[in-house]
Amino acid sequence: MKRIYIILFVLLFIVGSTSLMAQQVRVFPSNWWVGMKWNNVQILLYNKSENFVAANIKLKYPGVVVKKVTVLENPHYASIDVTIATNTKPGNVIIKYNNKEGINWPILQRRAGNGKQFAQGVTSNDLVYLLMPDRFSNGDTTNDKIAGLLDQSLNRDSMYLRHGGDLQGVINKLDYLKDLGVTTVWMTPILLNDMPSRTEHGYAITDHYTVDPRLGGNSAYLKLSAAIHAKGMKLIQDAVYNHVGIKHITVIDPPMKSWLHQWPQYTQTTYREQVLFDAYAAASETKKLSDGWFVPSMPDLNQSNPYVANFLIQHALWSVENFGIDGWRIDTYIYNDLAFMNTCNKALLADFPSITMFGETWVHGVVNQSYFCENNMNTKFKSNLQNTTDFQQLFYGIQAALNEKQGWTEGVSKLYNTTAQDILYKNPMGQVIFLDNHDLSRFFSVINEDVAKYKMALGWLLTFRGIPQLYYGNEILMKGFSNPDGLVRSDFLGGWKQDSINKFTTTGRTAQEDSVFQLIKTLANFRLTSSAIRTGKLMQYLPDDGLYTYFRYNQNEKIICMLNTSTTNKTIDISVKYPDMVKAQNSVKNIFTNEISSTKINIPAQTFYIGKLL
C-alpha cells in the first residue's frame, strides 16, 4: 500500500435510509437492529458546519433509553449512548438537535438465518478465492468514473491507476468460480477510498458506511452477497481496524485529540512484532510497533480510546448484519491494540457465534505467528483470534520445498519442520494457507515459471491441513513480482469486453494454462467430497531424498499425498515405507487418473501424487 490522500464523499448508507446529504449530519452507525446482543449503542453525530449543544439533542422512541449525551472535545461531534430493549419494535427513531428537523435513525428487524444463511464461518471445508474487484472483471462500465471523486483515472496500462473492475463483474463470474470448486469469495476492501491516486486496493478507507461507488456502491454489495449465498457459497469481508486514510472525516476534523496516535514528529511502526512477546523488549519499542503509523498516508487509530473502539466494533457488527458476511479477514493484525482486538472479536462472536475471523500476520516464525491467535503457549497476553494467514507454511514451507535441495534443514525438510511446530496452535486446521496474494510476488514467478513445481505447489495447497486460499489467476499461470512493477495486480484477461483473450473460457487458455486450471478443478472438487482432506487428521513422514509424504485420514477414508521434489523418479512400496497407514492388502486409486494399482507406486521426478487407499 503506497502513499494515499483521501477526501470525504457523502453517499447513501443503506437501502431505505434517509439521505444524510440533505440532513447535513452524519450518523454512525447509520442504523441498528432489534435483538442484537450489542444493544448498548453509541451513536456518533457529526456536523461539519455547526457545533452541537448537549441539552439540545433529543431522542425519544419506545424501548430506546438514552443513557448519556456527550458533546465531544470537537463540538462538531456528539455521542448519544442508548440501550435498545429486547422488546423494542422496528421503526424509525427521530434524533432532534439544536431545534432542527429530525435525523432518521432506523431500527430494523434482524436478518434471518444467522449461522446458516450468513455468518456461517469459513473453515477447512472451504476453498477461498481472493480477488481484487478493480482487477477481476468489469461488469458495469457506467461506474468506471464517478463525478466528484478525486481519482478520475482509468488506464489499464498502469498498475497504479484504476482499471474499472467492479462487484457486478464478480457476480458475473460466480458460476466460473463455483465450477472451479471455490466455496468462498474474499475481496480486498470494498469501502470507499476517495483518493487522488492509488485507490485500487481499498486499504485506506475514507467512509466506513459507503461501499465505493466505482465498485457499484452498497446496493451492488448487497446484490453480490445475495448472489453468493444463492449459490451456496460464502463471503469474506476484508476489515481494516488499524488505520484510515489521511483525509478520513475523523482525520480532517478529529472528534478529539486522542482519536489518533499522535507523535511530536512523524513516527512509523517498526514492523517488528517480536517486541510484543519479547521478555527483554523496551517499552518504547513496543509503543512504536503498535502506535506508529503504518505509512504517512494512513493515520493510526487509537483503539484504547473508547469512542474509537465503539466506532470500529459497531461498524464490524453492522457490516456482518447488513451485508450478510460469513467470515472476517483482518488487515495488519499485529499493529492493532491487541486488547481491543480481543474485545472486538468477542463482540462479533456474541452476535454471530458461527462467524470465523483470521488475521494478516506477515511475520517470520511459528512462535511469532501463533502468538496472535488462539495458541497453547503460556504467555501473559492470550489472543482470542481464531486463525491467521499462514505465512510460515509459505515462506518456510512450500517455497523452500520447491526452491531448495533437501538437506537436514533445507528444502522440503523446512516444510516438515514448520508443520511439526503446529503444536503451538490451538487449531492448526483453521490456519489459512496460500501461495501468494495481492502484496506478494506471484508464486509462479517465485519458482521461475516452472510448471511442474507449480503443479506440486497447487497439489499441496489443496490437500494440506488448514483453509486453502487461491489468489485470482493462480488457475491460469498469472505471473509477476510485487516490485518494482506491481504486476501481481494485473487484470484477469476476459474480464473486460474489449479483451481479445478470455481466460475465463477453455478456448481462451493455452494448453499449459488449461492443464493447471483442470488440476485445480479436479482437486478442488475432489476435496469437496473427501472428508479426510476437509476435516481429517494429518500424518507426515520424514522427507527422504526429496520425497515428502503425508496422509489425510479419518475413520472412513485415507488419502496419501506425495511430493517428489527431487530430480529422479521414485518407486515406493507404500505398505513397506508407511506401515502406520498402509497395509499390504491395500490398493490405491490415483485421484488424477482413477487408475487402481497395488501399493507399489511410481512417482516421477518433480510431481505430486494423490491416491485414495482402498
pLDDT tens profile 242-287? 999 998 999 999 999 999 999 999 999 999 999 999 999 999 999 9
**Do 137 and 238 have their domain in common?**
yes
**What one-character-per-residue DSSP string does 578-595 give?**
-TTT--TT--EEETTT--
Strands 387-388 and 356-359, how do they pair? Answer: parallel
pLDDT digits (tens, 9 = 90+) for 215-242: 999 999 999 999 999 999 999 999 999 9
Q: Does 472 map to a domain?
A: yes
Element (H, E) at 519: helix 511-529
pLDDT, position 484: 81
Q: Is 500 a residue whose pLDDT tops 60?
A: yes
Find the domain containing 424 and state its range.
128-264+304-533
The whole-number pLDDT of residue 101 equals 84
Any domain includes 2: no
Q: What is the pLDDT of residue 61?
A: 97
pLDDT at 13 over 50: no
Q: What confidence score (pLDDT) does residue 81 get?
A: 98
Cα atoms in the 13 Å half-sphere on the side-chain side of 178: 15
Q: Return mean pLDDT, the chain.
A: 95
For residue 12, pLDDT beyond 70? no
In a domain, 504, yes or no: yes
Given a contact cutoff of 8 angstroms between Cβ atoms, the answer to whether 214 and 166 are in contact is yes
Confidence of residue 3 (pLDDT cuts 50, 70, 90): very low
User: Quick check: 531 pLDDT over 50?
Assistant: yes
Same domain, 335 and 479: yes
- Same domain assignment for residues 249 and 366: yes
- The residue written with cell numbers 508443520 in the block is 419
In the structure, what pLDDT confidence band is assigned to residue 17 with cuts at 50, 70 and 90? Answer: very low
Model confidence at 486, pLDDT cuts 50, 70, 90, reads confident
In a shared domain, residues 522 and 541: no
- Residue 245 forms part of a structural domain: yes
Cα 546 to Cα 564: distance, rounded to the nearest angstrom: 6
- Which of 483, 498, 533 terminates a domain? The answer is 533
Residue 1's pLDDT is what?
A: 39
Percent of the chain predicted with pLDDT > 90: 94
Cis omega (within 30 of 0) on the bond before 29? yes
Residue 299, in any domain of the structure: no
CATH code of residue 588: 2.60.40.1180
Specify the pLDDT at position 435: 98
Given a cut of 90, whether residue 204 has pLDDT beyond it is yes
Same domain flag for 471 and 587? no
Asked whether the predicted pLDDT for residue 84 surpasses 80, the reply is yes
Same domain, 411 and 491: yes
Question: Annotated active-site positions, please?
Answer: 331, 360
Instruction: Compute CA distances 238 → 55, 87, 320, 362, 418, whole Å.
Output: 39, 33, 11, 16, 27
Whose grid coordinates read 478442488?
Answer: 524
Same-domain check for residues 78 and 167: no
Beta bridge partners of 425: 375
Beta bridge partners of 92: 106
pLDDT score at 303:
98
Domains identified in the chain, total number:
3
Element (DSSP H or E) covering residue 99: none
Q: Find the mean pLDDT for residues 39-58.
A: 96
Is residue 130 over pLDDT 90? yes
Q: CATH number of the domain that 33 lies in?
A: 2.60.40.10
Q: Do 523 and 560 have their domain in common?
A: no
Are residues 133 and 208 part of one domain?
yes
At residue 4, does pLDDT exceed 70?
Answer: no
Map 257-309 to HEC letters: HHHECCCCCCCECCCCHHHHCCCCCCHHHHHHHHHCECECCECEECCCCHHHH
Res 585: pLDDT: 94
Contact 456, 399 (CB under 8 A): no
Q: Cα–Cα distance between 575 and 90 in angstroms, integer? A: 65
Q: Are 582 and 561 in contact (CB under 8 A)?
A: no
Within-domain flag for 15: no
501 and 590, same domain (yes or no): no
Q: What is the pLDDT of residues 311-345, one digit of tens each?
A: 999 999 999 999 999 999 999 999 999 999 999 99
Sign of CA pseudo-dihedral 467, 472, 475, 478: negative
User: Which CATH number do you get for residue 163?
Assistant: 3.20.20.80
Domain end (from 75, 108, 141): 108
pLDDT tens, residue by residue, 456-468: 999 999 999 999 9
Question: How far is residue 151's CA from residue 162's CA, in Å, rounded to a whole number?
Answer: 8
Q: What is the CA radius of gyration of the chain?
A: 25
Both 456 and 310 in a single domain? yes
Last residue of a domain, one of 53, 79, 108: 108
Which of the 8 DSSP states describes residue 439?
Answer: T
Which residues have a Cβ under 8 Å from the Cβ of 178 and sit 6 or more positions away? 231, 233
Residue 540 and residue 397 share a domain: no
Amino acid at 83: T
CB 524 within 8 A of CB 540: no
Give the angle subtended at the CA of 119 by the CAs of 116 and 124, to the nearest 5°.
Answer: 85
pLDDT at 198: 85
Could you give the angle at which helices 511-529 and 451-461 cross, rounded to 10 degrees? 20
Q: What is the mean pLDDT of residues 117-136?
A: 98
DSSP state string for 195-211: -SS--SS--S-SEEEEE
Residue 295 dihedral angles phi and psi, to the nearest 5°: -150, 165
What is the pLDDT at residue 398?
A: 98
Q: Is the pLDDT of residue 16 over 70?
A: no
Q: Is the peptide bond before 484 cis (omega within 30 degrees of 0)?
A: yes
Is 287 part of a structural domain of the chain?
Answer: no
